[in-house]
Structure 1
Amino acid sequence: MLTWRVPALFGLLGAAGTTVGGALSERPGLWWGMAGAAVVVALLTGLDWLVAAPAGEVRLVRSGDRQVRVGDTAEVTLTVTNASLRTLRGLVRDAWVPSAGAGEPYAHVVDLDPGESADLVARLTPTRRGDRPAVRVTIRSYGPLGLAFRQTSRRRATAGTPPWTLTALPPFTARRFLPEKLSRLRIIDGQTVIRGRGQGTEFDSLREYVVGDDVRSIDWRGTARSGHVVVRTWRPERDRRILCVVDTGRTSAGRVATEPTDDRPDPPGEPRLDAAIDAALLLAVLASHADDRVDLLAVDSQVRTTVAGTHKRSALSRLTRALAALQPSLVETDFGRVAAEVLRTERKRALVVVFTTLDPGALGEGLLPVLAQLVAKHTVLVASVSDPAVPVLAARRGDVSRLYTAAAAVRTLEEVDRLRRALTGHGVHVVEAPVDTFASAVADRYLDLKATGRL
């Protein structure tokens, strides 16, 4: 293939030939000069192409990060080795999918002697969750004169590209609430120890009686066996079961408004699914610190992913990897299947947190008919992100179009309120909060239930 230098060289030599021919006033000499320039350019271009290092004789090896949170930057290194006997002068383009957020430069300039290697670093800042694969490495090798180059074909470049996938994990922005929630959890544990036996406690151990202990805590059988007075000690209930059910149906694809910032004065909003994932991660980490067992179920018309039995050490990493690839499905959620999976997965009583949308159509026709089965065996919490734009639209007045919009918004609020009352009437706990405080509100309700022993 040719570069821009070929026509430039031909123009330069052709102009020189034209000038010489004009000075000699020989018209046939003018054409011979142009033909000679073309021959010289063709010979130089062909020689330059032959001398260029073969683009196919380049070895490629990758190394670097495999995982990164959305918004953070990862580095993946592409090691390019010139395996030919000629000097490689060229460009190497390492292409990724657009959502991988590959930064500049677009292509890397290399100048490698035979057997020499170079490390080309790609800085990736993913903008979406999930697997972000490398697409293709294209190599263009120039001759020493820069007149012609060799380039790998599309098929050969795809086949020779070393595979690499960068997994973009959820950003977990709700971790900013974690210190506060852990502090409250410690307070709950301390209050339980102080007040002794009660709701939300279980037997811990026996110890010797000291002045000030409640005489009602004396264990008389233990006292008879040991020969001195011993009392029972209690601790908060541990190893409770928490099941996070993430609805990945059509309603999870909707976006809800977020607070504008200096960088984004008009933000596009956050998908409901991302808000649910953030809240589920915060709840899982908090529950694992309380020594409770956390399970995960993502479902719409079919089960998308399941994670069973996560404990304190592995909760965050396992759940983050499982939730990274979740995407909304444009289908109606089958809540009958949800209820069947919950009853099959959780044999013992558990706190079932359903991250969904308070949609009167979806929940009224899908969840309410099967709710009695769930409430009979488990404590059910329905968590939904509220859209702050709806109350604003309901309060607007003005022309006819605004009145119709306000009427639709008021009707939506009334239907959601009726659905909330229906869920509460079945004994379901309901949490509805804006996206900025949604994860915190879910964690607070979990702590309230734990403090009162209703898990």
Structure 2
Amino acid sequence: MDLLVANSSRRRLRAQIRDAWPPSSWPAGTDQEASRHGVTVPAGERRRLTTVLRPTRRGDRQADRVTVRSYGPLGLAARQGSHRVPWTVRVLPPFASRKHLPSKLARLRELDGRTSVLTRGEGTEFDSLREYVPGDDTRSIDWRATARQSTVAVRTWRPERDRHILLVLDTGRTSAGRVGDVPRLDAAMDAALLLTALASRAGDRVDLVAYDRRVRARVQGRGAGDVLPAMVQAMATLEPELVETDARGLSAAALAGAPRRSLVVLLTSLDAAPIEEGLLPMLSQLTQRHTVVVASVADPRVDAMTESRGSTEAVYEAAAGAQAQAQRRNTAEQLQRHGVTVVDAKPEDLAPALADAYLALKAAGRL
């Protein structure tokens, strides 16, 4: 941020200026140095000061005030005044999983049959006819087209395009839990951004609904070039709400956001109680009309607990970790029996795992 300090008096200005912002605008312990500036401005001149912000959290940052302390000629006395300023800086959510996008796009090109390997494009949507080459699947031979020409013709296929994907972010109390250094909600956002970038490049349409007891954010009807920036802006100010998510309302919001057959991706928790008491009774309404994926952030600390040994406390800790894993597997199995695809991965693995699940569904023609 730039400050323009103008001295309209007939005397030289010597001052200390503090450009105050919320504490999360800088790494801990660096705010004193970053927000304070010493300046000398001759009479009738101006100076530009730059405050470098390094926010540690996403969301809107509202400037507090600019305080000026000007010193007298001998430096023995000073006057101080503050000015309210209307500046706001929006910190966008990080897109750490962007590094996985090239490899997922390469896999997408293989599904489209746009690589030099001797395999047909996967999918269920007919693309074109071409001459047979050794290595092609003989089941792809088009015998009618072959009869009309002197060479063997095979059908090529591509994944379905222009499909609809609805991302549903659960912003209820379970999304506030921290896994490692980040809340579950932030890891879910990162996965949603990677899937949005991949699906938009694949020719599919992506919408977003963030919900707990009411709709917190919505992105709808954006084109391929606009959807990712719109998602980032909508997610920037989202915060977990310490309330139990209304599963009935969440299902209604998903059905309203997907009026025709779609891929509905629920980014929520796999905790037994919220799933069994909230989501499972409402799940049939979604699976009857849509393909449903449930993506959840797993806690690597639980895996570490199960390996604890060497003392009584460590054994109890291992037992607790094993019980938590068993409950999580049981919840995932219940969802799978309802036809739901479950993606359960650690924060750093959730985004690529969800992208892989999307590509697998696309290759199988289930979108």
TM superposition score category, shorter chain reference: 0.7 to 0.9
- Separation in 2 of the partners of 1:344 and 1:214? 42
- Separation in 1 of the partners of 2:212 and 2:345? 23
* Structure 1 unaligned spans of 5+: 1-75, 224-229, 258-268
CA contact (8 A) 1:291 1:311 kept: no
* Structure 2 unaligned spans of 5+: 134-139
Give, as a single letter, the amino acid of the residue that structure 2 aligns with 1:381. Answer: V
Give, as a single letter, the amino acid of the residue that structure 1 aligns with 2:33. Answer: E
Residue 224 of structure 2: aligned partner: 312
> Structure 2 vs 1, CA of residues 106 and 231 (structure 1 numbering), >3 Å: closer, same or farther?
closer
Residue 169 of structure 2: aligned partner: 246
Deviation for aligned residue 1:415? 1.3
Task: Mark the structure with the bigger radius of gyration.
Answer: 1
Deviation for aligned residue 1:196? 7.0
Give, as a single letter, the amino acid of the residue that structure 1 aligns with 2:209. Answer: L
CA contact (8 A) 1:80 1:119 kept: yes
Which range is displaced more, 386-395 or 89-98? Answer: 386-395
Matched residue SS, 1:377: coil
Residue 165 of structure 1: aligned partner: 88
TM-superposition CA deviations, 1:411-445 (whole Å, max 9, x none): 22221111111000000000111112111111011
Matched residue pairs, number? Answer: 352
Residue 236 of structure 1: aligned partner: 159
Give, as a single letter, the amino acid of the residue that structure 1 aligns with 2:39. Answer: V
Residue 402 of structure 1: aligned partner: 314
Task: Please tell me the root mean square deviation across aligned C-alpha atoms, in Å.
Answer: 2.7
Residue 344 of structure 1: aligned partner: 256
Give, as a single letter, the amino acid of the residue that structure 1 aligns with 2:200. Answer: S
CA contact (8 A) 1:243 1:352 kept: yes
CA contact (8 A) 1:201 1:235 kept: yes
Residue 278 of structure 1: aligned partner: 190
CA contact (8 A) 2:178 2:184 kept: yes
Matched residue SS, 1:361: helix
2:13 aligned residue (88, 91, 95): 88
TM-score (norm 1): 0.72
Residue 77 of structure 1: aligned partner: 2
Aligned pairs (5 A) from 1:11-50: none
Give, as a single letter, the amino acid of the residue that structure 1 aligns with 2:301. Answer: A
Deviation for aligned residue 1:203? 4.8
Name which structure has the greater RCO, CA cutoff 8 Å, separation 6+: 2
CA contact (8 A) 1:353 1:383 kept: yes
2:70 aligned residue (125, 137, 141): 141
Give, as a single letter, the amino acid of the residue that structure 2 aligns with 1:110. Answer: V
Residue 110 of structure 1: aligned partner: 39
- Separation in 1 of the partners of 2:252 and 2:34? 52
Residue 330 of structure 2: aligned partner: 418
Residue 17 of structure 1: aligned partner: none
- Separation in 1 of the partners of 2:338 and 2:115? 29
Deviation for aligned residue 1:285? 0.1
Residue 58 of structure 2: aligned partner: 129
Aligned pairs (5 A) from 1:177-256: 177-190=100-113, 200-203=123-126, 214-216=141-143, 218=145, 234-256=157-179
> Structure 2 vs 1, CA of residues 235 and 415 (structure 1 numbering), >3 Å: closer, same or farther?
closer
CA contact (8 A) 1:103 1:124 kept: no
Deviation for aligned residue 1:216? 4.3
Residue 342 of structure 2: aligned partner: 430
CA contact (8 A) 1:103 1:123 kept: no
CA contact (8 A) 2:57 2:91 kept: yes
Give, as a single letter, the amino acid of the residue that structure 2 aligns with 1:436. Answer: E
CA contact (8 A) 2:113 2:157 kept: no
Which range is displaced more, 313-322 or 105-114? Answer: 105-114
> Structure 2 vs 1, CA of residues 195 and 105 (structure 1 numbering), >3 Å: closer, same or farther?
closer
> Structure 2 vs 1, CA of residues 440 and 232 (structure 1 numbering), >3 Å: closer, same or farther?
closer
Deviation for aligned residue 1:192? 10
Matched residue SS, 1:367: helix
TM-superposition CA deviations, 1:268-318 (whole Å, max 9, x none): x22111110110000000000001000111111211101012332112211
Residue 359 in 1 paired to residue 271 in 2? Answer: yes
> Structure 2 vs 1, CA of residues 192 and 376 (structure 1 numbering), >3 Å: closer, same or farther?
farther
Matched residue SS, 2:348: coil
- Separation in 2 of the partners of 1:192 and 1:325? 40
